[in-house]
């Protein structure tokens, strides 16, 4: 995991288009969602448009998926994903995931609790302020990773 982050940080940006096939295949996101959830599919499409590779897993056992991956109940949302060892819960923007991967903090993952309007996959015409939280395995108390405040 660390070696992959270092490679991405030190080698690939300097190579530009020389390795374009590698650059196109961005980080792999394993995502679990309810088979009938349209906003989850829209979030996956957001990530793909931002260069991530998304592997979808439809399941009706989302509660168990969250428990197995250590998502604190107060941070729960509709879908759960894993990228480069980090858990991503809910409608986290691709830019925040990229920042997480670049900085490599010692956290379990990122979460956008609930389903805020205007977050990726929740483009309903209404836009709410929301925060992206991080948490640690040993201390699941959330900390704000990024605020998304509308002008």
Taking residues 116-132, report their average pLDDT: 96
With 80 as the cut, is the pLDDT of residue 1 above it?
A: no
- Contact status, residue 98 vs residue 60, Cβ threshold 8 Å: no
With a cut of 80, say whether residue 9 has pLDDT above it: no
Number of domains into which the chain is organized: 1
Is the confidence at residue 131, as pLDDT, over 80?
Answer: yes
Domain of residue 102 covers: 2-148
Chain Cα centroid distance, residue 76: 13
pLDDT in tens, 18-55: 333 444 568 999 999 999 999 999 999 999 999 999 99
Distance, C-alpha 150 to centroid of its chain: 20
How many Å apart are CA 53 and CA 27, to the nearest integer? Answer: 6
Residues 6+ apart with CB under 8 A from 21: none
C-alpha angle 30/98/46, rounded to 5°? 60
What count of other Cβ atoms lies within 10 Å of the Cβ of residue 61?
11
Q: Which residues contact 118 (CB under 8 A, 6 or more apart)?
A: 124, 126, 127, 128, 130, 148, 150
This prediction has a pTM of 0.83
């Amino acid at each position: 995991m660390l070696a992959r982050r270092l490679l991405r940080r030190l080698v690939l940006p300097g190579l530009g288009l020389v390795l374009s096939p590698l650059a196109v295949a961005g980080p792999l996101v394993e995502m679990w969602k309810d088979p009938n959830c349209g906003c989850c599919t829209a979030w996956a499409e957001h990530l793909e448009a931002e260069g991530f590779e998304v592997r979808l897993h439809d399941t009706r056992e989302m509660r168990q998926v969250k428990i197995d991956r250590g998502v604190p109940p107060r941070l729960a949302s509709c879908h759960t994903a894993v990228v480069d060892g980090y858990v991503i819960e809910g409608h986290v923007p691709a830019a925040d995931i990229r920042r997480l991967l670049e900085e490599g903090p010692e956290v379990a993952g990122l979460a956008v609790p609930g389903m805020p309007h205007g977050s990726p996959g929740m483009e309903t015409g209404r836009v709410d302020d929301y925060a992206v939280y991080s948490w640690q395995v040993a201390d699941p108390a959330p900390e704000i990773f990024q605020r998304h405040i509308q002008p």
